[in-house]
Protein backbone atom coordinates (compact mmCIF):
# COMPACT_ATOMS: atom_id res chain seq x y z
CA UNK A 1 0.00 0.00 0.00
CA UNK A 2 1.38 3.43 -0.91
CA UNK A 3 0.44 7.07 -0.41
CA UNK A 4 1.65 10.07 -2.39
CA UNK A 5 2.90 13.10 -0.48
CA UNK A 6 2.34 16.11 -2.69
CA UNK A 7 2.41 19.88 -2.34
CA UNK A 8 5.81 20.13 -0.67
CA UNK A 9 8.05 20.77 -3.65
CA UNK A 10 8.06 22.23 -7.13
CA UNK A 11 11.30 20.50 -8.18
CA UNK A 12 12.74 16.98 -8.08
CA UNK A 13 13.23 15.69 -4.52
CA UNK A 14 16.84 14.65 -3.90
CA UNK A 15 16.88 13.53 -0.25
CA UNK A 16 14.70 12.68 2.75
CA UNK A 17 15.41 12.40 6.49
CA UNK A 18 13.41 11.24 9.50
CA UNK A 19 13.76 12.65 13.01
CA UNK A 20 12.80 9.23 14.38
CA UNK A 21 10.02 8.10 16.68
CA UNK A 22 6.37 7.48 15.90
CA UNK A 23 5.48 11.17 15.78
CA UNK A 24 8.79 12.57 14.55
CA UNK A 25 8.99 15.12 11.77
CA UNK A 26 10.43 14.40 8.33
CA UNK A 27 12.37 16.68 6.05
CA UNK A 28 13.11 16.60 2.33
CA UNK A 29 15.45 18.59 0.14
CA UNK A 30 15.07 19.31 -3.57
CA UNK A 31 16.66 21.08 -6.49
CA UNK A 32 16.84 24.87 -6.34
CA UNK A 33 17.29 25.13 -2.56
CA UNK A 34 13.89 23.76 -1.54
CA UNK A 35 13.49 22.36 1.97
CA UNK A 36 10.17 21.00 3.25
CA UNK A 37 9.24 19.70 6.70
CA UNK A 38 6.45 17.10 6.80
CA UNK A 39 4.16 15.68 9.45
CA UNK A 40 4.05 11.86 9.78
CA UNK A 41 0.68 12.06 8.00
CA UNK A 42 2.30 13.40 4.84
CA UNK A 43 1.21 17.01 5.18
CA UNK A 44 3.69 19.82 4.42
CA UNK A 45 4.24 21.59 7.73
CA UNK A 46 6.64 24.27 6.49
CA UNK A 47 8.57 25.15 3.36
CA UNK A 48 11.69 27.20 2.79
CA UNK A 49 13.82 28.14 -0.21
CA UNK A 50 17.42 28.72 0.81
CA UNK A 51 18.82 32.03 -0.37
CA UNK A 52 21.64 30.48 -2.40
CA UNK A 53 19.11 28.34 -4.33
CA UNK A 54 21.65 25.52 -4.61
CA UNK A 55 20.38 21.94 -4.81
CA UNK A 56 19.80 20.46 -1.35
CA UNK A 57 21.72 17.20 -1.62
CA UNK A 58 21.27 15.83 1.90
CA UNK A 59 19.24 16.50 5.05
CA UNK A 60 19.89 15.07 8.52
CA UNK A 61 18.30 15.55 11.96
CA UNK A 62 20.32 15.78 15.16
CA UNK A 63 19.92 12.55 17.21
CA UNK A 64 19.97 14.54 20.47
CA UNK A 65 17.82 17.50 19.39
CA UNK A 66 15.21 16.17 16.92
CA UNK A 67 14.05 19.68 16.02
CA UNK A 68 17.50 20.59 14.72
CA UNK A 69 17.90 19.98 10.99
CA UNK A 70 21.03 20.13 8.84
CA UNK A 71 20.67 20.76 5.09
CA UNK A 72 23.65 20.46 2.74
CA UNK A 73 23.83 22.59 -0.41
CA UNK A 74 26.89 23.54 -2.41
CA UNK A 75 29.84 23.79 0.00
CA UNK A 76 27.57 24.90 2.87
CA UNK A 77 25.46 23.23 5.56
CA UNK A 78 22.50 25.26 6.81
CA UNK A 79 21.38 24.69 10.40
CA UNK A 80 17.58 24.94 10.59
CA UNK A 81 14.85 24.73 13.23
CA UNK A 82 12.46 22.19 11.72
CA UNK A 83 9.64 23.37 14.01
CA UNK A 84 9.98 26.97 12.85
CA UNK A 85 11.33 26.90 9.33
CA UNK A 86 11.82 30.65 8.93
CA UNK A 87 15.45 30.73 7.87
CA UNK A 88 18.84 29.38 8.81
CA UNK A 89 19.85 29.53 12.48
CA UNK A 90 23.44 29.28 11.29
CA UNK A 91 25.32 28.82 8.03
CA UNK A 92 28.32 26.51 8.19
CA UNK A 93 30.02 27.92 5.12
CA UNK A 94 32.96 26.29 3.41
CA UNK A 95 32.70 23.04 5.39
CA UNK A 96 32.89 21.28 2.04
CA UNK A 97 35.86 21.74 -0.25
CA UNK A 98 33.54 21.10 -3.19
CA UNK A 99 29.85 20.27 -3.54
CA UNK A 100 28.68 18.23 -0.54
CA UNK A 101 26.99 14.94 -1.36
CA UNK A 102 26.15 13.62 2.09
CA UNK A 103 26.18 14.55 5.77
CA UNK A 104 26.00 12.52 8.97
CA UNK A 105 25.65 13.56 12.62
CA UNK A 106 27.16 11.39 15.35
CA UNK A 107 24.89 10.00 18.08
CA UNK A 108 26.05 12.54 20.66
CA UNK A 109 25.08 15.41 18.34
CA UNK A 110 28.53 16.98 18.68
CA UNK A 111 30.07 16.22 15.29
CA UNK A 112 28.88 16.46 11.70
CA UNK A 113 30.72 14.80 8.82
CA UNK A 114 30.49 15.83 5.17
CA UNK A 115 31.41 13.92 2.00
CA UNK A 116 32.12 16.04 -1.05
CA UNK A 117 33.18 16.02 -4.70
CA UNK A 118 36.83 16.68 -3.85
CA UNK A 119 37.00 13.24 -2.24
CA UNK A 120 37.47 14.69 1.24
CA UNK A 121 35.58 13.85 4.42
CA UNK A 122 35.44 16.88 6.69
CA UNK A 123 34.41 16.66 10.35
CA UNK A 124 32.73 19.71 11.85
CA UNK A 125 32.74 20.48 15.58
CA UNK A 126 29.15 21.65 15.96
CA UNK A 127 29.77 23.52 19.21
CA UNK A 128 32.64 25.50 17.71
CA UNK A 129 31.01 25.71 14.27
CA UNK A 130 34.22 24.90 12.43
CA UNK A 131 36.03 22.06 10.68
CA UNK A 132 38.11 20.09 13.20
CA UNK A 133 39.44 17.33 10.94
CA UNK A 134 39.85 16.70 7.21
CA UNK A 135 40.24 13.10 6.09
CA UNK A 136 41.83 12.59 2.67
CA UNK A 137 42.24 9.23 1.02
CA UNK A 138 39.51 8.84 -1.62
CA UNK A 139 40.91 9.24 -5.12
CA UNK A 140 37.56 10.31 -6.57
CA UNK A 141 34.27 11.84 -5.44
CA UNK A 142 33.29 10.89 -1.87
CA UNK A 143 29.61 10.11 -2.23
CA UNK A 144 28.56 9.00 1.26
CA UNK A 145 29.54 9.12 4.92
CA UNK A 146 28.01 7.61 8.07
CA UNK A 147 28.98 7.70 11.73
CA UNK A 148 28.96 4.31 13.45
CA UNK A 149 26.28 3.95 16.16
CA UNK A 150 27.75 3.38 19.65
CA UNK A 151 31.10 4.72 18.41
CA UNK A 152 30.80 8.52 18.03
CA UNK A 153 34.50 8.88 17.10
CA UNK A 154 34.33 6.38 14.22
CA UNK A 155 32.82 6.74 10.76
CA UNK A 156 32.62 5.04 7.38
CA UNK A 157 32.98 6.70 3.97
CA UNK A 158 32.44 5.50 0.41
CA UNK A 159 33.23 6.96 -2.98
CA UNK A 160 33.35 6.69 -6.73
CA UNK A 161 36.88 5.31 -6.41
CA UNK A 162 35.09 2.05 -5.45
CA UNK A 163 36.49 2.19 -1.92
CA UNK A 164 34.79 1.87 1.47
CA UNK A 165 36.92 3.21 4.33
CA UNK A 166 36.70 2.91 8.10
CA UNK A 167 38.06 5.89 10.03
CA UNK A 168 38.88 6.61 13.64
CA UNK A 169 38.90 10.36 14.19
CA UNK A 170 42.09 10.14 16.22
CA UNK A 171 43.93 9.03 13.07
CA UNK A 172 44.70 10.90 9.86
CA UNK A 173 44.45 7.79 7.69
CA UNK A 174 41.84 5.03 7.45
CA UNK A 175 41.92 2.07 9.81
CA UNK A 176 41.24 -0.07 6.74
CA UNK A 177 40.09 0.24 3.15
CA UNK A 178 37.75 -2.20 1.42
CA UNK A 179 38.03 -2.26 -2.38
CA UNK A 180 34.68 -3.15 -3.96
CA UNK A 181 36.40 -3.69 -7.30
CA UNK A 182 38.85 -6.17 -5.83
CA UNK A 183 36.05 -7.95 -3.98
CA UNK A 184 34.04 -8.25 -7.21
CA UNK A 185 37.05 -9.67 -9.07
CA UNK A 186 37.78 -12.19 -6.31
CA UNK A 187 34.15 -13.25 -6.25
CA UNK A 188 34.66 -14.59 -9.77
CA UNK A 189 31.13 -13.77 -11.01
CA UNK A 190 30.68 -11.77 -14.20
CA UNK A 191 29.72 -8.22 -13.46
CA UNK A 192 27.41 -8.03 -16.46
CA UNK A 193 24.01 -9.67 -16.23
CA UNK A 194 21.00 -9.75 -18.52
CA UNK A 195 19.46 -6.31 -18.82
CA UNK A 196 22.46 -4.63 -17.19
CA UNK A 197 25.24 -2.75 -18.93
CA UNK A 198 28.71 -3.33 -17.59
CA UNK A 199 29.13 -1.03 -14.60
CA UNK A 200 32.02 -0.90 -12.12
CA UNK A 201 31.10 -0.96 -8.41
CA UNK A 202 31.14 2.80 -7.85
CA UNK A 203 30.02 3.28 -4.24
CA UNK A 204 26.92 5.48 -3.88
CA UNK A 205 25.53 5.08 -0.37
CA UNK A 206 26.85 3.55 2.85
CA UNK A 207 24.82 2.68 5.95
CA UNK A 208 25.70 1.18 9.35
CA UNK A 209 23.38 -1.05 11.39
CA UNK A 210 22.50 0.07 14.92
CA UNK A 211 25.00 -2.45 16.37
CA UNK A 212 27.73 -0.32 14.76
CA UNK A 213 29.54 -3.30 13.23
CA UNK A 214 27.66 -4.29 10.07
CA UNK A 215 28.03 -2.06 6.98
CA UNK A 216 26.09 -1.98 3.72
CA UNK A 217 27.15 -0.10 0.60
CA UNK A 218 24.97 0.36 -2.50
CA UNK A 219 27.04 0.30 -5.69
CA UNK A 220 26.71 0.94 -9.41
CA UNK A 221 27.17 -2.76 -10.24
CA UNK A 222 23.70 -3.43 -8.79
CA UNK A 223 25.13 -5.14 -5.71
CA UNK A 224 24.85 -4.10 -2.11
CA UNK A 225 28.23 -4.91 -0.59
CA UNK A 226 28.31 -5.93 3.07
CA UNK A 227 31.13 -5.99 5.61
CA UNK A 228 31.47 -6.69 9.30
CA UNK A 229 33.82 -4.90 11.69
CA UNK A 230 35.25 -7.18 14.35
CA UNK A 231 37.08 -6.68 17.63
CA UNK A 232 39.81 -4.11 17.39
CA UNK A 233 38.11 -2.65 14.33
CA UNK A 234 39.32 -5.53 12.17
CA UNK A 235 37.70 -6.01 8.77
CA UNK A 236 36.42 -9.51 9.56
CA UNK A 237 33.99 -10.56 6.85
CA UNK A 238 32.60 -9.31 3.55
CA UNK A 239 30.04 -10.32 0.95
CA UNK A 240 27.39 -8.93 -1.38
CA UNK A 241 23.78 -9.39 -2.42
CA UNK A 242 22.55 -8.99 -5.98
CA UNK A 243 20.01 -6.34 -5.18
CA UNK A 244 19.21 -4.58 -8.48
CA UNK A 245 19.45 -5.16 -12.22
CA UNK A 246 20.95 -1.68 -12.62
CA UNK A 247 22.91 0.54 -10.25
CA UNK A 248 21.96 0.36 -6.58
CA UNK A 249 21.57 3.97 -5.45
CA UNK A 250 20.44 3.58 -1.84
CA UNK A 251 20.93 1.23 1.10
CA UNK A 252 19.65 1.98 4.60
CA UNK A 253 19.32 -0.19 7.69
CA UNK A 254 16.02 0.00 9.59
CA UNK A 255 16.27 0.46 13.36
CA UNK A 256 12.63 -0.10 14.33
CA UNK A 257 11.93 -3.71 13.28
CA UNK A 258 12.42 -6.78 15.54
CA UNK A 259 16.17 -6.95 14.82
CA UNK A 260 18.58 -4.34 13.38
CA UNK A 261 19.55 -6.23 10.22
CA UNK A 262 16.63 -5.31 7.98
CA UNK A 263 17.92 -3.37 4.99
CA UNK A 264 16.04 -1.20 2.47
CA UNK A 265 17.52 -0.63 -0.99
CA UNK A 266 16.57 1.38 -4.06
CA UNK A 267 18.01 1.42 -7.55
CA UNK A 268 18.17 2.85 -11.03
CA UNK A 269 15.98 -0.06 -12.14
CA UNK A 270 13.07 1.75 -10.41
CA UNK A 271 12.89 -1.05 -7.85
CA UNK A 272 12.69 -0.82 -4.06
CA UNK A 273 13.44 -3.87 -1.91
CA UNK A 274 13.50 -4.91 1.74
CA UNK A 275 15.96 -7.56 2.91
CA UNK A 276 16.17 -9.60 6.13
CA UNK A 277 19.89 -10.18 6.66
CA UNK A 278 19.51 -11.57 10.17
CA UNK A 279 20.25 -15.16 9.15
CA UNK A 280 23.08 -14.37 6.76
CA UNK A 281 26.45 -15.74 7.95
CA UNK A 282 28.05 -12.30 7.94
CA UNK A 283 25.59 -10.87 10.49
CA UNK A 284 24.41 -14.00 12.30
CA UNK A 285 27.67 -14.20 14.26
CA UNK A 286 27.26 -10.54 15.18
CA UNK A 287 23.83 -11.21 16.65
CA UNK A 288 25.12 -14.12 18.76
CA UNK A 289 27.95 -12.02 20.20
CA UNK A 290 31.65 -12.70 20.18
CA UNK A 291 32.09 -13.86 23.76
CA UNK A 292 34.54 -12.50 26.27
CA UNK A 293 37.95 -11.29 25.29
CA UNK A 294 40.88 -13.01 26.98
CA UNK A 295 43.03 -10.83 29.18
CA UNK A 296 46.57 -10.31 27.90
CA UNK A 297 49.21 -12.31 29.74
CA UNK A 298 50.96 -10.13 32.28
CA UNK A 299 53.32 -10.90 35.15
CA UNK A 300 51.52 -8.29 37.20
CA UNK A 301 48.22 -10.03 37.93
CA UNK A 302 46.73 -6.99 39.63
CA UNK A 303 47.02 -4.97 36.43
CA UNK A 304 45.54 -7.79 34.38
CA UNK A 305 42.62 -8.09 36.76
CA UNK A 306 41.95 -4.35 36.64
CA UNK A 307 42.12 -4.41 32.85
CA UNK A 308 39.48 -7.14 32.63
CA UNK A 309 36.92 -5.88 35.11
CA UNK A 310 34.24 -6.00 32.48
CA UNK A 311 33.97 -7.37 28.96
CA UNK A 312 33.08 -3.96 27.59
CA UNK A 313 36.21 -2.36 29.05
CA UNK A 314 38.34 -5.15 27.66
CA UNK A 315 36.83 -4.84 24.20
CA UNK A 316 37.30 -1.07 24.22
CA UNK A 317 40.94 -1.49 25.23
CA UNK A 318 41.52 -4.09 22.54
CA UNK A 319 39.86 -1.90 19.91
CA UNK A 320 42.04 1.03 20.87
CA UNK A 321 45.16 -1.12 20.70
CA UNK A 322 44.29 -2.61 17.33
CA UNK A 323 43.45 0.77 15.81
CA UNK A 324 46.88 1.95 16.85
CA UNK A 325 48.48 -0.95 15.01
CA UNK A 326 46.39 -1.00 11.87
CA UNK A 327 47.57 1.16 8.99
CA UNK A 328 47.06 1.45 5.29
CA UNK A 329 48.83 -1.87 4.86
CA UNK A 330 45.84 -3.49 6.55
CA UNK A 331 43.93 -2.80 3.35
CA UNK A 332 45.72 -5.71 1.78
CA UNK A 333 44.37 -8.17 4.35
CA UNK A 334 42.00 -10.80 3.01
CA UNK A 335 38.99 -10.96 5.35
CA UNK A 336 36.65 -13.91 5.32
CA UNK A 337 34.47 -13.83 2.21
CA UNK A 338 30.86 -14.99 2.22
CA UNK A 339 28.38 -15.59 -0.57
CA UNK A 340 24.91 -14.20 0.12
CA UNK A 341 21.80 -16.31 -0.22
CA UNK A 342 19.32 -13.60 0.73
CA UNK A 343 16.17 -13.01 -1.28
CA UNK A 344 14.15 -9.82 -0.76
CA UNK A 345 11.23 -10.15 1.63
CA UNK A 346 9.51 -7.39 -0.31
CA UNK A 347 10.37 -6.05 -3.76
CA UNK A 348 8.23 -3.76 -5.85
CA UNK A 349 8.52 -1.53 -8.85
CA UNK A 350 8.49 2.20 -8.22
CA UNK A 351 7.35 4.41 -11.06
CA UNK A 352 10.67 6.22 -11.53
CA UNK A 353 14.40 6.06 -10.87
CA UNK A 354 15.02 6.21 -7.12
CA UNK A 355 16.88 9.21 -5.69
CA UNK A 356 16.47 8.39 -2.00
CA UNK A 357 14.94 5.81 0.33
CA UNK A 358 14.19 6.79 3.94
CA UNK A 359 12.94 4.27 6.54
CA UNK A 360 10.50 5.86 8.98
CA UNK A 361 7.87 5.08 11.60
CA UNK A 362 4.76 6.97 10.54
CA UNK A 363 2.30 7.04 13.45
CA UNK A 364 3.73 3.71 14.56
CA UNK A 365 3.55 2.19 11.08
CA UNK A 366 6.86 0.88 9.65
CA UNK A 367 7.27 2.60 6.28
CA UNK A 368 9.63 3.54 3.51
CA UNK A 369 9.63 7.02 1.97
CA UNK A 370 10.88 7.09 -1.62
CA UNK A 371 12.01 10.18 -3.55
CA UNK A 372 12.43 10.05 -7.32
CA UNK A 373 12.81 12.43 -10.26
CA UNK A 374 9.47 14.09 -9.45
CA UNK A 375 8.45 16.69 -6.79
CA UNK A 376 6.35 14.03 -5.01
CA UNK A 377 7.29 11.63 -2.23
CA UNK A 378 5.76 8.15 -1.98
CA UNK A 379 5.20 6.44 1.38
CA UNK A 380 5.07 2.63 1.28
CA UNK A 381 3.68 0.73 4.29
CA UNK A 382 5.64 -2.24 5.64
CA UNK A 383 2.77 -3.38 7.85
CA UNK A 384 2.81 -7.07 8.70
CA UNK A 385 6.58 -7.45 9.12
User: Which of 122-126, 211-215, 284-288 is predicted with the least confidence, judged by mean pLDDT?
Assistant: 284-288
Is the per-residue pLDDT at 25 higher than 80?
Answer: yes
pLDDT at position 183: 86
pLDDT at position 198: 60
What mean pLDDT is predicted for residues 46-65? 96
Is the per-residue pLDDT at 151 higher than 90?
Answer: yes
Which of the four pLDDT bands, split at 50, 70 and 90, describes residue 199? confident
- Stronger pLDDT, 196 or 358, i.e. the higher one: 358
Can you give the three-state secondary structure of the chain, one letter per residue? CEEEECCCCCCCEEEEEECCCCCCCEEEEEHHHEEEEECCCCCEEEEEECCCCCCEEEEEECCCCCCEEEEEECCEEEEEECCCCCCEEEEECCCCCCCEEEEEECCCCCEEEEEECCCEEEEEECCCCEEEEEEECCCCCEEEEEEECCEEEEEEEEECCCEEEEEECCCCCCCEEEEHHHHHHHHCCCCCCCCCCCCCCCEEEEEECCCCCEEEEEECCCEEEEEEECHHHCEEEEEEEECCCCCEEEEEEECCCCCCCEEEEEECCCEEEEEECCCCHHHHHHHHCCCCCCCCCCCCHHHHHHHCCCHHHHHHHHHHHHHHHCCHHHHHCCCEECCCCCCCCEEEECCCCCCEEEEEEECCEEEEEEECCCCCEEEEECCCC
pTM of the model: 0.86
| Residue pLDDT, tens place only, 294-342 | 333 333 434 333 433 444 454 555 555 554 544 443 444 456 666 666 7
For the ranges 33-37, 50-54, 180-184, 285-289, the maximum mean pLDDT occurs at 33-37
pLDDT at position 310: 46
**All structural domains of the chain with their residue ranges:** 2-293+327-381
| Residue pLDDT, tens place only, 116-134 | 999 999 999 999 999 999 9
What mean pLDDT is predicted for residues 193-204? 71
What mean pLDDT is predicted for residues 191-216? 81
What is the residue-averaged pLDDT of the chain? Answer: 87
pLDDT at position 1: 80
| Residue pLDDT, tens place only, 364-379 | 999 999 999 999 999 9
Query: Can you name the CATH fold of 2-293+327-381?
Result: Methylamine Dehydrogenase; Chain H (2.130.10)
Which of the four pLDDT bands, split at 50, 70 and 90, describes residue 243? very high
- Stronger pLDDT, 340 or 362, i.e. the higher one: 362
pLDDT at position 148: 98
pLDDT at position 317: 55
Amino acid sequence: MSRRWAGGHAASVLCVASAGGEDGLLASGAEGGEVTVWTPDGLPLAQLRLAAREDVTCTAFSPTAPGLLYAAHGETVSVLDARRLKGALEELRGVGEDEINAVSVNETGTLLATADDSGAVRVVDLQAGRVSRTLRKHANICSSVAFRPQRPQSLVSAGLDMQVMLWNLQKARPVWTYSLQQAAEEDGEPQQRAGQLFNPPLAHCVSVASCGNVLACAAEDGHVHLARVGAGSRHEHQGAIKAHSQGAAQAHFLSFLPHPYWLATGGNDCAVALWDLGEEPLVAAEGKGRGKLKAPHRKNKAKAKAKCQAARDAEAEEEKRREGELSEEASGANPGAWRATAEPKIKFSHEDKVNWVCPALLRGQPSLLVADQSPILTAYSLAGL
